[in-house]
Amino acid sequence: MSHLVLQNLTKQFGGSTAVQDVWLEVQSGEVVALLGPSGCGKSTTLQMIAGVLQPDRGTIALDGQILNRVPPEKRDIALVLQRGLLFPHLTIGENVAFGLKMRGINRADREEKAIVMLRQVQLEGFADRKPSELSGGQAQRVALARSLVIHPKLLLLDEPLSALDANLREEMQDLILQLQQETGVTMLIVTHDQAEAVVMSQRIALMFNGSLRQVDSPERIYQQPADQTVAQFMGGVNFFSVEAHEQQWQLSNGLTLASEYAHQGAIQATIRPERIQVFAEKPTQPNISDNLIPATVTANRFTGTQRRLTLAIEPDLFLQAWVTPTQDFSVGRSVWIRLPPEALWSFPPPIVSPQTIPV
Domain assignment of residue 355, yes or no:
no
Q: Is the model's pLDDT at 103 over the cut of 50?
A: yes
- The CA distance from 252 to 340, in Å, is 19
pLDDT-derived band at 350 (thresholds 50, 70, 90) equals low
> Looking at residue 187, what is its pLDDT?
96
The pLDDT tens digits for 285-334 are: 867 768 999 999 999 999 999 999 999 998 789 999 999 999 999 999 99
pLDDT-derived band at 353 (thresholds 50, 70, 90) equals very low
> Looking at residue 348, what is its pLDDT?
76
Which of 230, 260, 281 terminates a domain? The answer is: 230
> Looking at residue 290, what is its pLDDT?
85
Residues 224 and 270 in one domain: no
What is the three-state SS of the chain? CCCEEEEEEEEEECCEEEEEEEEEEECCCCEEEEECCCCCCHHHHHHHHHCCCCCCEEEEEECCEECCCCCHHHCCEEEECCCCCCCCCCCHHHHHHHHHHHCCCCHHHHHHHHHHHHHHCCCCCCCCCCHHHCCHHHHHHHHHHHHHCCCCCEEEEECCCCCCCHHHHHHHHHHHHHHHHHHCCEEEEEECCHHHHHHHCCEEEEEECCEEEEEECHHHHHHCCCCHHHHHHCCCCCEEEEEEEEEEEECCCCCEEEEEEEEEEEEEEECCHHHCEEECCCCCCHHHCCCEEEEEEEEEEECCCCEEEEEEEECCEEEEEEECCCCCCCCCCEEEEECCHHHCEEECCCCCCHHHCCC
Q: Is the model's pLDDT at 57 over the cut of 60?
A: yes
Q: Tell me, what CATH number does 33's domain have? A: 3.40.50.300
Domain assignment of residue 273, yes or no:
yes
pTM of the model: 0.89
Residues 28 and 131 in one domain: yes
Domain assignment of residue 254, yes or no:
yes
The pLDDT tens digits for 152-184 are: 999 999 988 887 888 888 888 999 999 999 999
Residues 336 and 193 in one domain: no
Residues 224 and 242 in one domain: no
Domain assignment of residue 115, yes or no:
yes
Q: Tell me, what CATH number does 335's domain have? A: 2.40.50.140
> Looking at residue 167, what is its pLDDT?
82
**Domain tally, the chain:** 2
Residues 150 and 224 in one domain: yes
Domain assignment of residue 358, yes or no:
no
User: What number is the average pLDDT over the span 104-116?
Assistant: 92
Residue 103: other Cβ atoms inside 10 A: 10
Residues 152 and 218 in one domain: yes
Domain assignment of residue 318, yes or no:
yes
Residues 82 and 182 in one domain: yes
Which of 174, 200, 230 terminates a domain? The answer is: 230
User: What number is the average pLDDT over the span 110-130?
Assistant: 92
> Looking at residue 261, what is its pLDDT?
93
| Least confident residue range of 19-28, 130-139, 274-283, 295-304 | 130-139
Residues 193 and 267 in one domain: no
- The CA distance from 207 to 34, in Å, is 7
Residues 202 and 300 in one domain: no
Domain that holds residue 292: 236-347
Residues 111 and 162 in one domain: yes
| Cβ atoms of 233 and 294 closer than 8 Å | no
| Cβ atoms of 346 and 261 closer than 8 Å | yes
The pLDDT tens digits for 222-281 are: 999 999 999 999 999 999 999 999 999 999 888 899 999 999 999 999 999 999 999 999
pLDDT-derived band at 351 (thresholds 50, 70, 90) equals low
Residues 184 and 267 in one domain: no
Domain assignment of residue 353, yes or no:
no
Which of 195, 230, 265 terminates a domain? The answer is: 230
